[in-house]
Amino acid sequence: MILNVRGLTKKFGTNTAVDDASFALEKPQMIGIIGRSGAGKSTVLRMINRMTDATNGVVEFEARNILALKGREKRAWQADCAMIFQQFNLIPRLDVMTNVLMGRLIDHSAVGSILRLFTRDERLAALAALDRLGIADHAMKRAEALSGGQQQRVAIARALVQDPKMILADEPIASLDPMNAQIVMEALRNIHEQDGRTVIANLHTLDTARTYCDRVIGMRDGAIVFDGPSEQLTEDTAREIYGAGEEFNEAATSTSINAIQDTTQQLVAVG
């Protein structure tokens, strides 16, 4: 058992954001968590990474109780469990290389990192990660000068230099156009397949989850309502996850270029 999540619950006041969520991973997988906004997808990832404290429940990674970690051990876990965000969360005014090297902060003291005493190996690893994602040419530019798709690849490169056991991606393509969304999802799939790392991605589109993930977890109002191989995800199940009625159309939640064209044509036909 790699990851074991049991009864994970998060309450904000009287509002329950995540309600008794349980799932387990036997081997490295690429998992897509789907559901509409506010379903609790982000909170699940943030609790696993320990950015948000859980109200209740257990998270075990390789038989270690993650939720009990404190101080340096907690930070070491965060480095092992890289996170990618919808808004990229880079340091806009610093250059791309420095941004990628931020993934190595855990190995450096406060003074060492302020003086940017990164080793030659770390710099090479950062460049290799950028090269793998096809953006090594931009290494010297300020992060804010890059396009959204490029910034998200910088964020993935930062995750890679952390040499993480797992990558959590919170809506990694929600701010990107279809072309860049495809590049980013393919990069994540590639990291899963070639490095054998577990990738858990929050997605709000069904077809992305179907295309790139081995397994899909559907969440609705904080609870897990579906957990299974992506092939088993029928339109009825999807309707239940999204709480939609008969008018539900899978293409409407799609980001792929074809699907958008289909929807547009339908809209034109209707109009």
Partner 1 sequence: MSETLATANMAAQYEIMERRRRVYTGLLLILLLVMLIGGVRIAEEANSGSILSGLPKILDYPSDILSQAYTRGWGFWLIPFEVQHADNGIQHTYFYYLIETINMAVVATIFGFAFGAVISILASRNLVKNQMIVWVTRRFTDISRAFPEIVIALFLIFIFGKNPIAAVAAIAFHTTGALSKMFSEVNENADMKAWEGLEASGASWIQKIWFGIIPQVWPNWISYGLLRFEINVRASAILGFVGAGGLGQQFKTFVDWKFGADIASIILILILTIVTIDILSTWARRRFIGKVAH
Rounded least distance, CB 45 to partner 1, Å: 9
179: which residues sit within 8 A by CB, 6+ positions away? 149, 257
Rounded least distance, CB 126 to partner 1, Å: 13
Q: Residue 113 or residue 249: which is nearer to partner 1 going by CB? A: 113
Rounded Cα distance between 75 and 85, Å, is 18
Q: Residue 88 or residue 226: which is nearer to partner 1 going by CB? A: 88
- Residue 38 CA: distances (Å) to CA of 8, 34, 175, 180, 222: 16, 11, 17, 25, 8
Rounded least distance, CB 251 to partner 1, Å: 28
- The two tokens of residue 74 are 């907690």
User: Within 133-173, where are the H helices?
Assistant: 148-161
Rounded least distance, CB 167 to partner 1, Å: 11
156 DSSP 8-state letter? H
Q: Residue 79 or residue 260: which is nearer to partner 1 going by CB? A: 79
Rounded least distance, CB 141 to partner 1, Å: 15
81: which residues sit within 8 A by CB, 6+ positions away? 48, 49, 61, 164, 165, 166, 167, 168
Q: Residue 167 or residue 217: which is nearer to partner 1 going by CB? A: 167
Q: Residue 135 or residue 167: which is nearer to partner 1 going by CB? A: 167
Binding residues (CB under 8 A) for partner 1: these are: 49, 51, 75-79, 82-83, 85, 87-94, 98, 102-103, 105-106, 108, 110, 113-114, 155, 158-159, 162
